[in-house]
Amino acid sequence: MLKQLESKKENVIAFELSGKVEMSFIREFIQLVKPKLEAGDGLVNIFMKINNADWDNFFHLKSFVMHDWPHIMKEFNQINSDMKKLNKIAVVGSSDFEKQLVQVDSFFGKIWYKGIEEKYFDVSEEEEAWKFVS
């Protein structure tokens, strides 16, 4: 489940991700971020807290290819020009898998959208994560 949190700064969009995570999470995320990217002229930062997420169904390949991928790509293409407004992404989590997922996402983000800085923070470093995006 993706839940928008109250942000400490106007240019920061904050979320909590918990429970069963499926590829539809990406679509939900895009729909929540899109208005902020389209509305402002300044840079936007993202704070994402992962709390007891179940990743077992996230990479279900058949579902992803047949159902999610075409929709996700369509939505990414719709906000592609606004992605240059993304500046920093802080992800707070508690597992090696989540840390590695952020490393992979950060790698591709730097290729596709130059200038985005994405970092993983352990739950014990949540305040540092807020400082990073503030």
pLDDT in tens, 96-134: 988 998 998 888 777 666 778 999 999 999 999 999 999
Domain assignment of residue 94, given as a range: 2-133
pLDDT of residue 112: 67
Residues whose CB is less than 8 angstroms from the CB of residue 102 and which lie 6 or more positions away in sequence, other chains included: 91, 93, 118, 119, 120
CA distance to 40, 70, 85, per residue, from 127 (Å): 26, 37, 23
* pLDDT for 66 beyond 70: no
CA distance to 47, 104, 121, per residue, from 11 (Å): 11, 25, 20
Interatomic CA distance for residues 45 and 55, integer angstroms: 24
Q: Looking at residues 24-31, what average pLDDT do you find?
A: 76
- H or E element that contains 83: none
**Higher per-residue pLDDT: 5 or 68:** 5
- Give the CATH number for residue 64: 3.30.750
**Closest by alpha carbon to 5, among 32, 26, 27?**
32
Interatomic CA distance for residues 114 and 67, integer angstroms: 29
pLDDT of residue 93: 95
Interatomic CA distance for residues 87 and 12, integer angstroms: 10
Tally of domains in the chain: 1
Mean pLDDT of the chain: 81
pLDDT in tens, 3-27: 999 997 888 999 999 887 766 777 7
pLDDT of residue 31: 80
